[in-house]
Amino acid sequence: MFRLFLFVFLYCTAVALNVNFQECLDEVTKRNTTISVKEQQWLCENADSYFHKRRQHAAFKAAGYKDVNLFNRFYAWNASSTIQAYLHSQEYMDYQLELLVHQEIRNHQKDDAWYFVKVWKGNNSWSSLGGNATDIYNSWDKSDFSMMAEKWKRMVEIGHRYYPPFNEVWSFGQYYLKVKGWDYILRDNEMKHIVDEWRNSSDYEALDKRKKINHYLSADGYKASAYTQFCEKLDKLEGQNWSDFVRSCIDDPEFVNVDNKEKLKTEVRRLGFKHRDDFEAFWIWIHKEPKYQLKTPGSNTCPTGFSHITDLDECQKAQEEVASDVSHGFQGIPHPELPVSGCYLDTLHDRVYMPPASHGTGATHMHMIPICKKDQSD
């Protein structure tokens, strides 16, 4: 009985995955993308698509739920499960406890301390901290993190008082903690001196450089942070104004690589694949050196770092990857009584096959191209 249940479960799962894959491909095709079919298939097989999330969200709303945060927690928990299963899970109970702790923070008028509460919690679950929401709040309030939250709040209040609107709070806070530390007692009359000290530091110089680069890049239509991060690494010439510096950055030969990646990222997001980690995995995949490669025409050898393919099934797999458009396809081993030379693309007869080791080489055999496999690195 168990084996039958397992078989039915695996079969239904496979069918569902196949339906989701085809549905994803159909949705992507509708968007008239410029990326290849192979790349579309990789995304639909490996990335979390918006289409699946949209279907799950529709089911979520159909069940009578509207809280977007609840849906996002459910989807992050198990994108393939149901909302009913999530509502009976420990993760859901933990989420409810988190909401109650957050309300406790608000009740004590410390909502701006939530960041420090999350740092204090770390990777622990809320339920593992012990007790109810009030107990958890009291434990946090007695910790050093509560003290840090109060000091941060005071620093921000003084900064806003003397430097309205003081939009550089986070960057200044990092400098303040690096120079003064959490144990330093900040007084009102010291704030101006510390801020002036910061604005003459290398930390502020780097911040100012980032802001100016971002301003001129955005004016030219380069708004993604990757552009700013690239230009930040370059040195500005003495006497060079910021507009000319950014123009020289855009003209840098390496800038086009950043631009190509950002354009592809925009296209992938337009297709419905919005997760940053998924795109990074996709980017690595498309730039990974292929395992099977066509090498020197007329040669009977593979270069250093590559080896001949002598296995029939592997040669057919290589043909599917590097020569899938040959009209006569894969023709295997025509002379099984002889040892094979390797796996070859024969452009004269438009086929891939495994000829014997005695086949000719040189100028009269330029139509014979060895398909070699990349050696595995240690």
pLDDT tens digit string along 192-248?
Answer: 788 888 888 998 899 899 999 999 999 999 999 999 999 999 999 989 999 999 999
Q: Which 3 state secondary structure label does DSSP give 249?
A: helix
- How many angstroms separate the CA atoms of 98 and 101, rounded? 5
**pLDDT tops 80 at residue 167:** no
The pLDDT confidence band at residue 157, using thresholds 50, 70 and 90, is confident
**pTM of the predicted protein model:** 0.64
Consecutive H or E run containing 9: helix 2-30
**DSSP states of 17-28 as a string?**
HHHHHHHHHHHH
Q: Identify the residue whose tokens are 């977007």.
A: 68
Helix-helix angle 202-219:242-250, to 10 degrees? 70
**pLDDT tops 60 at residue 15:** no
Boundaries of every domain in the chain: 2-93, 203-272, 292-374
Do 137 and 101 contact (CB within 8 A), yes or no? yes
Lowest-confidence region among 22-31, 128-137, 342-351: 22-31
Do 371 and 343 contact (CB within 8 A), yes or no? yes
Which residues share a beta bridge with 374?
306
| Arithmetic mean of pLDDT over the chain | 86
- How many angstroms separate the CA atoms of 87 and 80, rounded? 14
- Residue 364's pLDDT is what? 62
Residue 314: burial class (beta carbons within 10 Å; 0-12, 13-18, 19+) = middle
- How many angstroms separate the CA atoms of 203 and 329, rounded? 62
Residue 179 vs residue 134, higher pLDDT: 134
Instruction: Give the pLDDT confidence of 316-363 residue by residue, as tens digits.
Output: 999 988 988 888 889 999 888 888 889 999 999 999 999 987 776 766
